[in-house]
C-alpha cells in the first residue's frame, strides 16, 4: 500500500496540482491585496469616502460605529462590505483565469485540417485521388 501511495504521489498530475494550488493561493493573496488596498479606496472615495470593508448591519441594535468594535463586543453583525470585497476578489480572479486559459487554448489550438486530396468512388466506395476520372478499383467512369 505504501508503494502504491508513493507511485500515486509522484505522478506528474499530482505534482502539477500541488504546484497549481500553491500558486493559486499566492495569486489569491495578490488579488485580495489589489482589491483591498488599491481598487477599493479610490472607489470608496468616489462614492463619498466610503470604506467598503467597514459596511455592516448591526443585528444587536446597540449602534456600533465600526465592524471591528461590533465584532470585539461579540455582537451579531452582517458584514456585507467584506462580502462585497470578496465578490470583487472572486470576479477579478475568475476574469484573470479566464484570460489565462483563453491564451493557453489559443496557443494549443491545432491547425485547421488540410483539405482532402481524395474523394469516394460512387460505385465501389473506395478512396481515389480528386483528379481521377476513372476508379482504379472498379474501373467505373467518374462524373467530373
136 in the same domain as 122 = yes
The answer on 105 and 34 residing in a single domain is yes
Domain extent for 27: 12-109
DSSP string, 81-127: HHHHHHHHHHHHHHHHHHHHHHHHHHHHPPPPPPPPSEEE-TTT--E
69 and 137 within one domain: no
**Does residue 50 sit in the same domain as residue 72?**
yes
Enter the C-alpha cell of residue 130.
480528386
pLDDT in tens, the chain (144 residues): 888 887 777 776 777 788 888 888 888 888 878 877 887 788 778 877 666 778 888 888 888 888 888 889 989 999 888 888 888 878 887 887 788 888 888 887 777 788 888 999 888 989 999 888 888 888 888 887
Q: How many angstroms separate the Cα of 35 from the Cα of each of 23, 38, 49, 101, 103? A: 18, 6, 16, 22, 24
Question: Which grid cell is 85?
Answer: 470585497
Quick one: 128 and 88 in the same domain? Answer: no
pTM for the full predicted model: 0.53
Cα separation, 20 vs 14, in Å, equals 10
Residues 28 and 89 in one domain: yes
- Our count of domains for the chain comes to 2
* Strands 57-58 vs 77-78: parallel, antiparallel or unpaired: antiparallel
For residue 4, being part of any structural domain is answered with: no
For residue 70, the tally of other CB atoms under 10 A from its CB is 21
* Same domain, yes or no: 46 and 100: yes
* N- to C-terminal Cα separation, the chain: 67
In this predicted structure, what is the pLDDT of residue 26?
86
H/E element, 78:
strand 77-78
| Whole-number pLDDT of residue 12 | 67
d(CA 131, CA 115): 14
Amino acid at each position: 500500500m505504501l508503494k502504491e501511495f508513493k507511485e500515486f504521489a509522484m505522478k506528474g498530475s499530482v505534482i502539477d496540482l500541488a504546484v497549481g494550488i500553491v500558486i493559486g493561493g499566492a495569486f489569491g493573496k495578490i488579488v485580495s491585496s489589489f482589491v483591498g488596498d488599491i481598487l477599493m479606496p479610490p472607489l470608496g472615495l468616489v462614492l463619498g469616502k466610503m470604506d467598503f470593508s467597514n459596511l455592516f448591519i448591526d443585528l444587536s441594535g446597540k449602534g456600533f460605529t465600526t465592524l471591528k468594535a461590533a465584532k470585539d463586543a461579540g455582537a451579531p453583525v452582517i458584514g456585507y462590505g467584506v462580502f462585497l470585497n470578496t465578490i470583487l476578489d472572486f470576479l477579478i480572479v475568475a476574469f484573470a483565469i479566464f484570460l489565462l486559459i483563453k491564451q493557453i487554448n489559443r496557443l494549443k489550438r491545432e491547425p485547421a485540417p488540410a483539405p482532402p486530396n481524395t474523394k469516394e468512388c460512387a460505385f465501389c466506395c473506395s478512396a481515389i485521388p480528386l483528379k481521377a476520372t476513372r476508379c482504379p478499383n472498379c474501373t467505373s467512369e467518374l462524373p467530373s
